[in-house]
Structure 1
């Protein structure tokens, strides 16, 4: 059982080559069209420096880190300011929470001890853990990924915490030089997005040349729809995804980002990783014949 020559689109930039190889190994044809880049601008520099001042100057009880590149940006900025070791010492007196093993590894590389990595590697997973803790009247530092998350912030506020936060880079449809340097510094392999390739992706989705499309992060979905809207193609894109193409999301946050645009997600794995995602896709496609995938999903409640 495999993909049997079906064409599967890859929209992620990081690990795009790895996912393409998985698709090939399963007998499919990868269609790589990354939609996610990152940019580092002056406002992100100011936010990063401000959070460093908060870490050093306030009584931070909990420090939450969402991504490895964010950790690198914070620590390299602290080192540039001459306070790198001081930041490490302060963080080691706090409860440090890493969203996943990726930020955990970068934190540990700098000598920062991590107290918790939630089983659910999402903002919601962190929020669920913070509800279990006494944060009333406590100060919490949050270093976001390319976007902040209102739900986690609101949970902390509702629990009585004071939140100090920063976004160290922004998701975009470009991978500018400073953004590429950040990803390379933490060992991420990535493919930059290209405008012409994204246009081709949208066109080929509409022409029935792509059988399934994978989204491995919320920005990969939001950026595709934003790009389509900017070119007057959003309605056609939504119609293609809802009527012709099997839509695959790696996990709940990505699924919600897709559903924000009134697009139905057909496949989401129980384990939110690339391998399980592709196995779930194969199982979904094997359960019904070509041409009836979308109908089977609606009738059988798959997804």
Structure 2
């Protein structure tokens, strides 16, 4: 008998849904698409202003959280004929970076971060940043999709004067889809919910809070629906939202996550 037989799994991503569905079906499960990703809309109208601020060395620290954020800021500087000034300013500022894609993009610009996360997560970045005092300093915080509430709270607690830089404005996921997803979880209709990015986590819990159903949602994830994550970074976002039981593979791969979920259910069945 296939390990996901009889299991209904919601896919919260917006890409490769057919491919992921086949992986689930190959294990005997039923996959349903419930996109909680939201979409990047346009370059933020304030981005040129923020690029100008960076090139004028207005920040003591610049915190980059995504590779695409670094790339978008650099491309915007190119369009403004300010790319050399941008790189010079980045070399003078103290840089903190989360994730290998971010570090690789900075490396292309000959920028070596003063602070790197220890595990690819926002929490890992925060652990490393905690060794530094940012009190009274001007900080640029580049975000993309993930609002990073704990990191922003830490900056506020440490009295840093920070400015958010959002390379793209975002539109939230379809409200009808989110309403359906939330009610399916709360009604016990889903066996597992598959998160493939941190924005999906934030979007679901923000929606639940708006509906006054956050605690109910947490209870469902602890007692009924299994939270499945594509990797440790997204798993960390779930932990930050108060979800203790999160299944995820060591290597961040969609196929590996599905196999990990199948293994989880097989072990649960063996316990019974």
Q: Same fold (TM over 0.5)?
A: yes
What is the alpha-carbon root mean square deviation over aligned residues?
4.0
Instruction: Please point out which of 216, 225, 229 is paired with 2:196.
Output: 216
Map of 1:285 onto structure 2: 265
TM-score, normalised relative to structure 1: 0.67
**Alignment check: 8 A CA contact 2:59 2:93 kept:** yes
CA distance in 2, matches of 1:241, 1:128: 27
Q: How much has 1:99 moved relative to structure 2?
A: 1.0
Map of 1:248 onto structure 2: 228
CA deviations over 1:221-242 (Å, ceiling 9, x no partner):
3434555788x7959x848666
* Equivalent residues in 2 for 1:182-221, closer than 5 Å: 201=181, 210-221=190-201
**Alignment check: 8 A CA contact 2:221 2:245 kept:** no
Q: Does 1:11 find its partner at 2:12?
A: yes
CA distance in 2, matches of 1:129, 1:97: 9
**Alignment check: 8 A CA contact 2:238 2:246 kept:** no
- The 3-state SS of whatever aligns with 2:163 is strand
Map of 1:31 onto structure 2: 32
CA deviations over 1:156-213 (Å, ceiling 9, x no partner):
4555644333122344335xxxxxxxxxxxxxxxxxxx66655665566577664211
CA distance in 2, matches of 1:203, 1:91: 46
Map of 2:62 onto structure 1: 63
**Alignment check: 8 A CA contact 2:70 2:105 kept:** yes
Q: How much has 1:40 moved relative to structure 2?
A: 3.8
The number of residue pairs the alignment matches comes to 264
Q: How much has 1:26 moved relative to structure 2?
A: 4.5
Q: How much has 1:18 moved relative to structure 2?
A: 6.4
CA distance in 2, matches of 1:234, 1:157: 28
* Equivalent residues in 2 for 1:89-100, closer than 5 Å: 89-100=88-99
Q: Does 1:267 find its partner at 2:237?
A: no
TM-score, normalised relative to structure 2: 0.73
Q: How much has 1:11 moved relative to structure 2?
A: 0.6
Q: How much has 1:217 moved relative to structure 2?
A: 3.6
Unpaired runs of 5+ residues, structure 2, are none
- The 3-state SS of whatever aligns with 1:36 is coil
Q: How much has 1:16 moved relative to structure 2?
A: 5.2
Q: How much has 1:287 moved relative to structure 2?
A: 2.5
Bigger drift between 140-149 and 130-139 goes to 130-139
**Alignment check: 8 A CA contact 1:171 1:219 kept:** no
Residues 149 and 207 of structure 1, relative CA distance in 2, 3 Å threshold:
closer
Map of 1:130 onto structure 2: 129
**Alignment check: 8 A CA contact 2:41 2:170 kept:** no
CA distance in 2, matches of 1:17, 1:62: 42
- The 3-state SS of whatever aligns with 2:9 is strand
Q: Does 1:45 find its partner at 2:37?
A: no
Residues 76 and 118 of structure 1, relative CA distance in 2, 3 Å threshold:
same
**Alignment check: 8 A CA contact 1:147 1:167 kept:** no
Residues 117 and 20 of structure 1, relative CA distance in 2, 3 Å threshold:
farther
Bigger drift between 135-144 and 121-130 goes to 135-144
CA deviations over 1:64-96 (Å, ceiling 9, x no partner):
111233223322222222212321232133343
